Amino acid sequence: MRSTPLYTRVVCLTFAILFAWIGVFANIGSAAAYNGAAARQYADQWWNSVNTGAPHYYINATSYGEINDCTNYVSQALYAGGLTEIFTGNGADQDAWWWDSPDYADSWIRAMVPPSTPPSQGSGLVNHAYRYIDWRFKPQLYWTGLKVGDFYSYDSVGPPTSGPATHSRIVTELRNEEGTLIPYANQHTPNRYHVRYDQHWAYGVATVWKIHVCSSNGNCNP
């Protein structure tokens, strides 16, 4: 039997190394993907209580001087699902989204400040989402675009004083209702578990921001 030519062995070895590295990067990309099921698991675990343990120390953050941790709770679930923090150490940084006890960015605890449709300035989780379209988030026109682990924020006051989003929920279930998958969600302040997306809204709520969460490498989950 003839021996394999040296150049053939070199080519084979080169391709073997190349495919090995492709596998490594593929695993990295997979590991970096946002996991909606993990976000839901966290949201279900803490829907009726406050997580004050490791790795972060979460408190009932206040918003405008009132005890209100609805967006704080949603942010915790998003973090548990693998959404990476953008840490600056400056809570007023409009692009930031992070928690570092006892400090936090506005985007971590507030739905949206100030009013803007679509958001173009100010802080808050909705504004943060619109700043990172096609990388971290994809706003949805319809409820059918939301998946488990996504979130939505809305104006809980409604007309005639409608303005910025004031409340946030995280999608924890999709139920088939007459052939259409309808989102159900969890929330804090007050605490609710797997309620229909529009349950307990104030009458005449005008504006809702529906946000699909993408992987940290810019690829949205199906």
What span, in angstroms and rounded, lies between the C-alpha atoms of 183 and 195?
Answer: 9
Q: Does any domain span residue 183?
A: yes
30 pLDDT higher than 50: no
Average pLDDT over residues 24-48: 74
Average pLDDT over residues 78-100: 90
Number of domains in the chain: 2
At 192 the pLDDT is 96
**What's phi and psi for 97, nearest 5 deg?**
-150, 100
User: What is the domain extent for residue 45?
Assistant: 34-213
pLDDT tens digit string along 43-88? 999 999 888 886 676 766 655 555 678 999 999 999 999 999 999 9
At 39 the pLDDT is 98
Region of poorest pLDDT, from 34-43, 117-126, 189-198: 117-126
Interior angle at CA 102, CA 97 and CA 126, nearest 5: 25
- Do 34 and 82 contact (CB within 8 A), yes or no? yes
- Do 208 and 156 contact (CB within 8 A), yes or no? no
Percent of the chain with pLDDT over 90: 46
- Residues 176, 194 within the same domain: yes
Q: Does any domain span residue 124?
A: yes
- Residues 16, 107 within the same domain: no
Average pLDDT, the chain: 79
Q: Does any domain span residue 220?
A: no
